[in-house]
Amino acid sequence: MKARITITLKPGVLDPQGKAIEGALHALGFGSAGDVRQGKYIEVEVAESDPAKARARSSACASSCSPTPSSRITLMNSRRRKSLASPSEAPAT
């Protein structure tokens, strides 16, 4: 099972790289771009067929890649395009 891991800063945490990208987009003529957030995207093949075990292994991998508590991690199953993020990792509304 392939896990797609997206690591971004949590909402409310200052993202200076996102602001720099937003400024560059405006300079390139994309003035409608706003609230740009920069992050990391990682794909990992997990040798598990059980979704719960795959979620646990992927979550451990993602946490190792970004140990900062200000990060938000989203896991995706590439076959079904269904989020594997646990409720505690889901984006705040």
Q: Per residue of the chain (93 residues), what is the pLDDT tens digit? A: 777 878 888 888 889 999 999 999 999 999 999 989 888 888 888 888 888 888 888 778 777 776 565 666 666 665 544 444 444 444 443
Return the pLDDT at 33: 92
Contact residues for 19 (Cβ-Cβ < 8 A; gap 6+) = 36
Question: What residues make up the domain containing 6?
Answer: 2-86
Residue 44 covered by a domain: yes
User: Which CATH number fits the domain that encloses residue 55?
Assistant: 3.30.1280.10
Please indicate, yes or no, if residue 91 is contained in any of the structural domains.
no
This model's pTM is above 0.75: no
Look at residue 71 in the predicted model and tell me its pLDDT: 63
Element (H, E) at 73: strand 71-77
Distance separating alpha carbons of residues 43 and 27, to the nearest angstrom: 32
Number of domains in the chain: 1
Q: Is residue 93 part of a domain?
A: no
- Report the pLDDT value the prediction gives residue 79, as an integer from 0 to 100: 54
Find out whether 84 and 3 touch, Cβ atoms under 8 Å.
yes
